[in-house]
Structure 1
């Protein structure tokens, strides 16, 4: 066994890339190139890291399948950090299978955690849970155990299971301290911050206040009638009525819930639902039609009664109607939520994560750039977009994930 290669590998495992480079910086053999690539990735030079890893993969012989697979896993991690979500997930699966076949369970588990993190970014929670369920955290070393628990916590937060998320993060914090890697400890602290920072706003009785993720979870479990602006549903207890494809009806439901227990004038309903400044007879006629449709949709949850001024909402089984609102009312909130992780995203990666067209994302980014909310660097395919985190709010609920189905 090459003592310098072993020492460099141990340095990287301990989060000391400079120590690793001291041992292999001048070497051009495949194992040294692979370690140099990982070291450069830890130092943030991702382009150089990718080039070194690809050289290393070409340098290993076909018989060195494990070494080649490790290079693929390392390149997948760089792709994830650089938000290259179009990188071949199949190549990672093949590498993971190779590592498992040859008994390298540690790196196979690392490949599994990378797959989970990618699935989380693009909102495929069921698949992420399935992969994570097949990974046994017990034999993992501290750094890998911390990564595992961070993945568990990430899924739990997106599913609104805050108790499970806190438990996983406590395990992650313990493992990160045992590993002694500063970057890993900072990642755990950042995840804890998401639990202790407002994630939404509650609008009730004409007033509003911020809600922590735990409070959002409690609200969803309560019997209150909730008009949810994150997933465009109206729910009470186990009953949920989606208005995601009925924007006018949802706007009316939200306006009525915000005013509950009071009523809303016809003029305000017209303005909120149709964008009209003055309610003429045609607007009033359309409002009557849409209110009738809303009555039919919400029939099991609430009545909508006419008043002298307009209309009022009257929940059937509960005495409370509230609105669960986004922390910021922003047309492109989902794009901002992804960018708020502090990483540099391409428009193609954003489109993949949001399951929408790349041109739509590009238009949103251009509008956000004009208002100074995002900034870009690079040109063409190398162009990347960034923004600082939204001050005072966690963006957990803004990320693309069907958490209401959890």
Structure 2
């Protein structure tokens, strides 16, 4: 891997999408296309990101199965963010297996996390919870670990398990700080505010008052 590709990859890992683009914007080799695609995704241009990643996957040679699988994982994440539920989950599962077989546990776990997020999005909470319990987040770097804990918190909120949600959010907050990415920290804080906002209203004998999620949980546990 040449120095510009390495520098661009490091910039992306730290959340500096513009810095990554500056290094590879004029290149059309497969690694550069992949990095450009991920950078565009971080910047919010999902259409362009998807096209670049598809081109990158095609440009990688037959012996570069891991690189192609990483492109598939990135495409799957873009589809998830875009709420494109037509994207084939079997492709993500196949990519995850390729990555696991080649020792890339980080990206394999990341693929698993994306699959769980998709299950949550389509309301299959039982499957999501089972998959989450089976996924080992240990190999994940801080940004992906924060994302993993956000998924755990989201499931806990939907299950009305506020203490579990707070614990997951605390872990996500710590991982976001370790990542040093303000955008990620802001995402965690936004998710945490759900626990401190009214989630329902209690009407009793003509009186009405808002209830926090923890209070709703307490009512259902009686």
Scaled to the shorter chain, the TM-score interval is over 0.9
Q: How does 1:350-361 map to 2 (within 5 A)?
A: none
Number of equivalent positions: 222
Question: How far 1:129 moved relative to its partner?
Answer: 1.1
1:175 maps to 175
CA distance in 2, matches of 1:54, 1:192: 35
Question: How far 1:31 moved relative to its partner?
Answer: 0.4
* DSSP 3-state at the match of 1:128: helix
Q: How does 1:303-382 map to 2 (within 5 A)?
A: none
1:90 maps to 90
1:154 maps to 154
* DSSP 3-state at the match of 2:138: coil
Q: How does 1:69-80 map to 2 (within 5 A)?
A: 69-80=69-80
Q: How does 1:2-401 map to 2 (within 5 A)?
A: 2-222=2-222
Q: Cα deviations across residues 158-207 of structure 1 (Å, max 9, x unaligned)?
A: 11110011011001001101101122111101111111111111111122
CA distance in 1, matches of 2:130, 2:63: 32
* DSSP 3-state at the match of 1:199: strand
Question: How far 1:138 moved relative to its partner?
Answer: 2.5
Query: What TM-score do you get using the length of structure 1 for normalisation?
Result: 0.54
Q: Cα deviations across residues 86-136 of structure 1 (Å, max 9, x unaligned)?
A: 111111111111111111111111111111111111110111112111211
The CA RMSD over aligned residues, in Å, is: 0.9
Higher RCO (CA-CA < 8 Å; seq separation 6+): 1
CA distance in 1, matches of 2:145, 2:53: 25
* DSSP 3-state at the match of 1:208: strand
Query: What TM-score do you get using the length of structure 2 for normalisation?
Result: 0.98
Give ranges in structure 1 of 5+ residues lacking alignment: 223-406
Question: How far 1:3 moved relative to its partner?
Answer: 1.4
Task: Give the structure with the higher percent strand.
Answer: 1
| Bigger-Rg structure (1/2) | 1
Q: Cα deviations across residues 130-162 of structure 1 (Å, max 9, x unaligned)?
A: 211121122321111111111111111111110
* DSSP 3-state at the match of 1:26: coil
CA distance in 2, matches of 1:92, 1:156: 25
CA distance in 1, matches of 2:137, 2:121: 22
